Structure 1
């Protein structure tokens, strides 16, 4: 394969590889809002920030709290997120599952592969 002519070609190649990854049966697909939620949880995890269900429901950019809550429930059922206890039994911490972390590992490999082709 010819080397990319411009940086946008690398990004387009990454998108192709990432799309193929989404077709794998490891975890059920996410809708666009769930993908945004996943990115927020991943970023908080990377920065070692605590993120509760209440914190997520308070994020105006994600829409109505009830919508966010239903998506968090859906993502738990699909195997993307888990809720863990905090010192306050009424508050739950939102975290990525091991399968979600593996998904990000695979996405990272797609990025590297896109730059090498």
Structure 2
């Protein structure tokens, strides 16, 4: 890190690089609640935890079951998540789509680039 570079400079550089990603053709943007749901799903996937729609509905931070279903449908239509079958046909497992994992990979590269000196 350069001698006059503050930690905040790294974060602001990351935001600038991440914002540039939004200008590239990619997945449609998410609203703030969808973004929080996506982060929750991503953390579960990273920890290799199976996450069902019912598991998400148990999280009161995401609002009512009806609101959650609406958001999951929207996120699925936008290409961020997929609903996979389980051994119980009434239960669906929620996972990030391949495109969502690629998006996180790109954000990770932005973070690494932001920490480098110019």
Same fold flag (TM > 0.5) = yes
- After superposition, residues 30-45 of structure 1 pair within 5 angstroms as 30-45=30-45
Per-residue deviation, residues 47-75 of structure 1 (Å, max 9, x unmatched):
00010011112211111221111010000
Secondary structure (helix, strand or coil) at the match of 1:94 reads strand
Residue of structure 1 equivalent to 2:52? 52
Measured after TM superposition, the shift of residue 24 of structure 1 is: 1.9
Q: Which runs of 4+ in 1 moved over 4 A?
A: none
Hey, what's the Cα distance between the residues in 2 that align with 1:50 and 1:39? 15
How many residues end up aligned between the 2 structures? 116
Measured after TM superposition, the shift of residue 5 of structure 1 is: 1.8
Residue of structure 2 equivalent to 1:101? 101
Residue of structure 1 equivalent to 2:61? 61
- Unpaired segments of 5 or more residues in structure 2? none
Which deviates more from structure 2 when the two are superposed, residues 71-80 or residues 9-18? 9-18
1:10 equivalent in alignment to 2:35 = no
Measured after TM superposition, the shift of residue 116 of structure 1 is: 0.6
RMSD, aligned α-carbons = 1.4
Does the 8 Å contact 1:83/1:92 carry over to 2? yes
Does the 8 Å contact 1:57/1:66 carry over to 2? no
1:83 equivalent in alignment to 2:95 = no
Per-residue deviation, residues 51-100 of structure 1 (Å, max 9, x unmatched):
00111122111112211110100000000000001111100000011100
Secondary structure (helix, strand or coil) at the match of 1:33 reads helix
- Unpaired segments of 5 or more residues in structure 1? none
